[in-house]
Amino acid sequence: MATTLNIIKSLTRVLGEPMEPTAHLIDTRMFRTLVFGPVLLGILLAITGAINSSTGTNWTFSGFNTFIELFKLPIGVASVSIPLGALVASHHRSIQSARQINLQDAQNTFSNYVKHREYFGKFLEDENLLNGDSSFKATGKSIYTALFPNSQEGELEARVDLNYTFNGDYILDLTVSAVNKVSWSNTSKLPTFLACLDELAQGIGDSFHLYAPLISDRLDIESALHECRKIANTLDDIYSAALFLTPSQSAESLKDWSKKMTTIIARLIGVRRFELAEQRIIEIASTSQTGTLNEEQRDQVLSLLGGHRKAKLGWIFEKHQRAEQLAPIVDDLKKRRS
């Protein structure tokens, strides 16, 4: 068995190597087969013809003509090796050229990747994006990997998929639905909204390798508003980062998310302004000697109340058990035009 394997290995060495860009032409199996093969076959045919020929040796001109006539076939077979050798050499050069082109392309791709990643980091710093103050914080270079997962293969267009690591669209819709149940007259659903908001924040953080602090379900409206603005700023920063050097079609989904976050923020602003109006009315009622408002106070409260003023004032009056000091202020505000 060992002898058979040794024979096979010896034959393989004699036949040559596969046609590879790094192999010498004369050492390749294709060259040896197509060049030496016809030559050996021609020699074999010539020997066979010489053995079976009755013609003797004749060194005259007539003898050479007879030689050529008799050995025309062996010479023709052997001469086939010349064009075949040229074809093999040309093929080998084309393989080497293709390899050089591939190596150059790979080098250019890697160089572009390194420069793109380096400039991306500088871009984030220069534009103050994802700095952790008004938005989530990018953890090192991980945001680059999240936005440009195929950059090492030469694809420098950002890929944004908000549903890859979590069901982003569904969670965002839940968050919008939850905030719509929070109103100036009923904030009991605020913890539910905050739980949805936290899941949304963590999902965004995981998708883009950002540090997203946990959002407590015991926050007040003002704090919830702050967290919403932070998420909205994060989405805007990610969108700006995704457009670095090359436009990205997939990044357009971030715009839709930003619009929904704007809707959420507007809802919370309305509730927060009502809270401020209520606080201001209570403050004025507790400090005013006459139980009336001056023009500046009146304008301020009316501005905070916004629409549905009478309903809101009535709710405040009932909430504080019809406090006597509130009555003249509430009546004054109800009579005024916005």
Q: Give pLDDT tens digits for 40-84.
A: 888 888 788 777 776 666 677 777 777 777 777 878 887 888 888
* Total number of residues shown for the chain: 338
What is d(CA 47, CA 53) in angstroms, rounded to the nearest whole number? 10
pTM given for the model: 0.73
CB of 215 within 8 A of CB of 197? Answer: yes
Which sequence spans correspond to the domains of the chain? 2-107, 137-265, 288-335
Q: Give pLDDT tens digits for 97-131.
A: 888 888 888 898 889 999 999 999 899 989 999 98
The pLDDT, as a whole number, for residue 308 is 83
CA 36 vs CA 39, 41, 79: distances in Å: 5, 8, 11
Instruction: Write the CB contacts of 84 (distance below 8 Å, at least 6 apart in sequence).
Output: 34, 35, 38
CB of 292 within 8 A of CB of 327? Answer: no
What is d(CA 89, CA 81) in angstroms, rounded to the nearest whole number? 12
What is d(CA 286, CA 222) in angstroms, rounded to the nearest whole number? 24
Confidence of residue 260 (pLDDT cuts 50, 70, 90): very high
Q: Give pLDDT tens digits for 279-326.
A: 888 887 777 766 677 788 878 888 888 888 888 888 877 777 666 667
